[in-house]
Amino acid sequence: MIAVVHHPAYVAPGQATNPSQLSKNAAIRDLLRTHGAAIDWHEPEPMPLHWLEATHDPDYVAEVLEARVPREKERRIGFAVTPTVAARAQVVPAGTWLAARLALDRGFAANSAGGSHHALAETGAGYCVFNDLAIAAVRLVEEGDVARVLIVDCDVHQGDGTAALTAGRPGIATYSIHAEKNFPARKARSSLDVPLADGIGDAAYLATLAATLLPLIDDYRPELILYQAGIDPLAGDRLGRLALTPDGLVARDRFIAEAAATRGIALASTVGGGYGDDVRALAATHVEVILTLGRAYHAARAQLLAPGTMAAGSS
């Protein structure tokens, strides 16, 4: 079974300026439900206030939770922060944290939302309210669940908020592979940034991913990878500038899963970005990512641990 974290509050009403981002969670949930017993569902509790404040400015946290975010910050986010959106913002980081905890026990788990990598300390941005990746990573390290976590961001947009919020924090490293000329205009500095030219397709993308990510993993030796599995590198994405095919996206996710599994590293994924008018098609792609990651991870671990096969880390 594939462990999936979901909360009813994920299904917040879509915003007029961004109909795909807040409403597609319902479609993701419904499509995952069609897989029946293959999905093991888990529901998070809201993230405790002090863990939100450990990453974000307490004044901004209060603005969000009380649904009184100033208009200029709402413009940066891209939609109004209503009480429903505020409730969602508190449970999504908890979902990413819970997925990570499940992954540490089971190998792989997925949050059916999250990937809000543009949110900064004092404001949201780019359809992101709170940065679930940074919040979860900080809590995991500070509570002693892991000594080293690596955030791997394969969204078409740079994970600027994640990089800024975790910079200088012990036990957290960040990797971002993204379209160089895409949002945000002003990039932050990740532990490793891999900017790509417009229009890169499957072969060049996958070769670059392997050449840059694997040495980082082997040098840093994380116990956990938090994976921002954005689908917006696909050709035709409304906000993307790359040109991956569906097969290329599957190959990307199989590579990430196998890289983690064969090294004995736990892997927790978030849905990341994906933009277009067909919400069900976007959701189907996100579901394919989750299924690909889960199946590839567990298959790689099973093969590695099969009788007669040397286990990871043995000599």
The tokens for 29 are 């949930």
Mean pLDDT of 101-108: 98
Asked if residue 184 has a cis previous peptide bond (ω within 30° of 0), the answer is yes
Using the predicted structure, report yes or no on whether residue 68 has a pLDDT greater than 70.
yes
Question: Which region holds residue 199: left if phi is over 0, alpha if psi is between -120 and 50, else beta?
Answer: left
From the number of C-beta atoms within 10 Å of its C-beta (0-12, 13-18, 19+), residue 46 rates as middle
pLDDT of residue 143: 98
Given a cut of 70, is residue 20 above it in pLDDT?
no
Locus of tokens 């919040």: 135
pLDDT of residue 235: 97
The pLDDT of residue 13 is: 63
Residue 121 tokens, joined: 């300390």
How far apart (Å, rounded) are the C-alpha atoms in residues 91 and 84? 11
Strands 108-111 and 39-42: unpaired
- Has residue 114 got a pLDDT over 60? yes
pLDDT at site 153: 98
pLDDT for residue 17 is more than 70: no
The answer to whether the beta carbons of residues 70 and 123 sit under 8 Å apart is no
Quote the pLDDT of residue 309: 61
Dump pLDDT digits (tens) for 203-245: 999 999 999 999 999 999 999 999 999 999 999 999 999 999 9
Report how far residue 146's alpha carbon sits from residue 76's, in angstroms, rounded to the nearest whole number: 33
CA distance 62 to 24: 27
Give the whole-angstrom CA distance, residue 110 versus residue 216. 23
Q: Quick check: 21 pLDDT over 70?
A: no
CB-based contact 102:3 (threshold 8 Å): yes
- Mean pLDDT of all residues in the chain? 94
Domain 2-302 has CATH 3.40.190.10: no
Beta bridge mates, 151 = 174, 226
Q: Which amino acid is located at 254 in the chain?
A: R
Residue 314, pLDDT > 90, answer no
Q: Tell me what pLDDT residue 22 has.
A: 52
| Residue 306, pLDDT score | 84
As a whole number of angstroms, the distance between CA 131 and CA 298 comes to 28
Q: Which residues pair with 4 in a beta bridge?
A: 41, 110
Structure tokens at 85: 């959106």
* Mean pLDDT, rounded, for 259-282: 95
SS3 call for 294: helix
pLDDT digits (tens, 9 = 90+) for 3-14: 999 999 999 665
Q: Which pLDDT score is estimated for 217? A: 98
The rounded distance, in Å, linking the Cα atoms of 38 and 20 is: 26
Q: What is the pLDDT of residue 9?
A: 95
Which of the residues are catalytic? 118
Inter-residue contact 30 to 10 (CB < 8 Å):
no
Q: Is the pLDDT of residue 15 over 70?
A: no
